[in-house]
Structure 1
């Protein structure tokens, strides 16, 4: 089964958790897009939900599929969010932000009663960090911010290149909120909770891509079928 087919399988399984009338957060990225597609097909058959997008890209996709969209200002509490992940470990700790939407993704996820993560098996890891950790940062004082990030990361066992994300033409990548992204190539993150707390001390960091204690359930699609992590331990949803 192709990686694309695995993403579809995980997305369609997540749809089983969505009940009519729910307020649903829609994630960003290639796997989340598969869920939006599946939800759109169900909406076309008369299924009614109200959704909040985590990015302008997802907003446009959902509207094109006829999904009723709202905002967190009008719907400040959501029943559930479905999103992908760049990495996920056995404790449901995530790295997110490969698509640059980590700030809005975390805002939407934490405004929800529960979060489902959908991913193919390549995203499952024993130790986070092989995927570069994204940080959303303000442009002002970038060099000072980068230096403080590096120093605090070393204190919690993380070291590596910290690179500003750029577009194909070399221009800085800008998030939907107008900020920059620094990608931290640490290789491994031995203590994710400690790194998360350290990064919160940096004034120039708006948010980091570590999602800890946020995901309630993960649906992982592999060549041997679907694996669900977290369903037994929680009252989800």
Structure 2
């Protein structure tokens, strides 16, 4: 199977996973990226089964609206049953690296509000130790150099992602050459740097379930 076919299979599996549990007032959080886009397209097929969505990016919101799926501001909803999103890396504890699409802050906020975080990914994203994928860090623009110097002290090699402005108006530093053996500790350490909005380690709020696309089918993996 091609990588796109694996992504489509995991997106379809996510629909099969959430559909039996949706109710008329359910709110579904929707992530950002290529795998999430497949999920949005399939979600349109069952849009009559739930109330609406909260999107983690303007791009996802536009795609949802184009399918006629209601999109709400997070502040206007009381709760969220599911958050479905992809990942750039996942380890066996379902701790993730996210942010390749520069939506990490909104993704982390929406994930924090969800009762259940369903990660959808193909098996190229599965790793034993996070860090092969460069870690995105969203920073206040005026603090970019300050944050970069502090990231070097933590053992990383930060590179400014040229030409990218997040939906929040901020910059992205991609941190290379990290071997993230203690994800929660590093997530806290980076977030404590003055000028950092957040970083792409999702360890304090990992996924609850991973739907992993493989050549032998989609595997359902739970944390622990």
Q: Same fold (TM over 0.5)?
A: yes
Pick the aligned partner of 1:223 from 189, 209, 215.
Answer: 215
Instruction: Return the offset for 1:175.
Output: 0.1
1:127 and 1:188 in contact (8 A); partners too: yes
Contact 1:8 1:34 in 2 (8 A): yes
* Structure 1 position 208 matched with structure 2 position 213: no
**1:149 counterpart residue number:** 151
Which residue among 177, 181, 184 is the counterpart of 1:193? 184
User: For residues 113 and 202 of structure 1, what CA distance do their matches in structure 2 show?
Assistant: 29
Instruction: Tell me which residue corresponds to 1:163.
Output: 159
Task: Return the alpha-carbon distance in structure 1 between the equivalents of residues 177 and 185 of structure 2.
Answer: 14
Moved over 2 A (4+): 46-49
Give distance in 1, aligned partners of 2:143 and 2:71: 36
Deviation string 1:9-54 (CA, Å, 9 cap, x unpaired) is 11111112131321110000000111111001222xx333310000
Deviates more, 1:175-184 or 1:133-142: 133-142
- State yes or no: 1:127 paired with 2:129: yes
Pair 1:64-2:66 in alignment: yes
Q: How many Å separate the matches in 2 of 1:190 and 1:34? A: 31
Q: How does 1:34-49 map to 2 (within 5 A)?
A: 34-43=38-47, 46-49=48-51
Q: Which runs of 5+ in 2 are unaligned?
A: none
What root-mean-square deviation, in Å, do the aligned CA atoms of Structure 1 and Structure 2 show?
1.4
Aligned length: 219
- 1:4 corresponds to which residue? 4
- Structure 2 counterpart SS, 1:68: coil
CA shift for structure 1 position 188? 2.2
CA-CA distance at 1:71 after TM superposition: 1.0
Structure 1 gap segments, 5+ residues each: 154-158, 167-171
* CA drift at 1:88: 0.3
> Aligned-pair distance for 1:142?
1.9
Determine the structure 2 residue equivalent to 1:169. Answer: none
Residues in 2 aligned to 1:48 and 1:78: alpha-carbon distance in whole angstroms: 11
TM-score (norm 2): 0.93
